[in-house]
Amino acid sequence: MNNLYTFLSGPALWAAFIIFIGGLGLRVAFLFGLSLERDRVFYNHADAGWGFRSILHWLIPLGSVSLREQPFFAVAFYVFHVCLLAVPLFLLAHNILWREAFGISLPSMADSVSDILTIVFIIAALVLLLRRFMRPEVRILTSAWDYVLLLLSALPFVTGFLAYHQVGPYRVMMIAHILSAEVLLVVIPFSKLAHMVLFFFSRAFIGFEMGQRRGARTW
């Protein structure tokens, strides 16, 4: 058990980060090259202002028309993504690891705040899961892999919360926490979860097309 913990918190962690960063970089480079080959017309009317507006409309809660049409889901969607980024980056225990491994440290949130955000995240994840079951137009587009990705996104939060509060065997929970987080990092570049980066490119392209070329703002 100790050897497994040492491996996961050492070489496996470095490998996961390398695959995560390298995989995302390669995917962006590949898609960029593909767009130059097949969609070069987009670059004829590229405009940073319209691209930024398109991105901003989807970063602001209820900023887009489609999100305002389903406010309950929009709030859950926004909370899910904010917590998904904020807790891993600003958790005090993680920042200690960042400093030891990479020599960097980010501002840290209190453990009580991270606890609240973790619970809020889990609730938001359940709302998104129920939406996939209850909304026919969403259910028909949802594959088994989509449910797996949602589960993979939630597992590090659930196992980390249980480990911190010492619910169940602590060492087992910590191993499950680290392993689930590393699996998630490895999966991200090769799945729909890569939208954490690709989102900015796709929204900018929509801004180029709908704003700069067509003069419309209904995105």
pTM: 0.87
Q: Quick one: pLDDT at residue 36?
A: 82
For 2, the enclosing helix (H) or strand (E) is helix 2-9
- Asked if the structure places residue 59 within a domain, the reply is yes
Do residues 175 and 8 touch, judged by C-beta distance below 8 A? yes
- Other Cβ atoms within 10 Å of 182 Cβ, number: 21
Q: What is the pLDDT along the chain (219 residues), one digit of tens a residue?
A: 778 888 988 899 899 999 999 999 999 999 888 888 877 777 777 777 877 888 887 788 776 677 778 888 888 989 999 999 999 999 988 888 878 777 777 889 999 999 999 999 999 999 999 989 888 888 898 999 999 999 999 999 999 999 999 998 999 999 999 999 999 999 999 999 999 999 898 888 888 777 665 555 544
Q: How far apart are CA 119 and CA 128, in angstroms?
A: 14
Total structural domains within the chain: 1
Vertex 17 angle, CA 11 and 22, to 5°: 125
Q: Does 219 map to a domain?
A: no
For 15, residues 6+ apart whose C-beta sits below 8 A from its C-beta are 182
Contact 42, 209 (CB under 8 A): yes
Domain that holds residue 73: 2-213
pLDDT at 155: 97
Residue with structure tokens 């390669």? 26
The one-letter amino acid at 118: T
Three-class DSSP category at 78: helix
Establish if 118 belongs to a structural domain: yes
Q: Rounded CA gap, 48 and 55, in Å?
A: 11
Whether residue 174 is contained in a domain is answered as yes
Q: Domain holding 195: CATH number?
A: 1.20.950.20
In a domain, 196, yes or no: yes
- Establish if 218 belongs to a structural domain: no
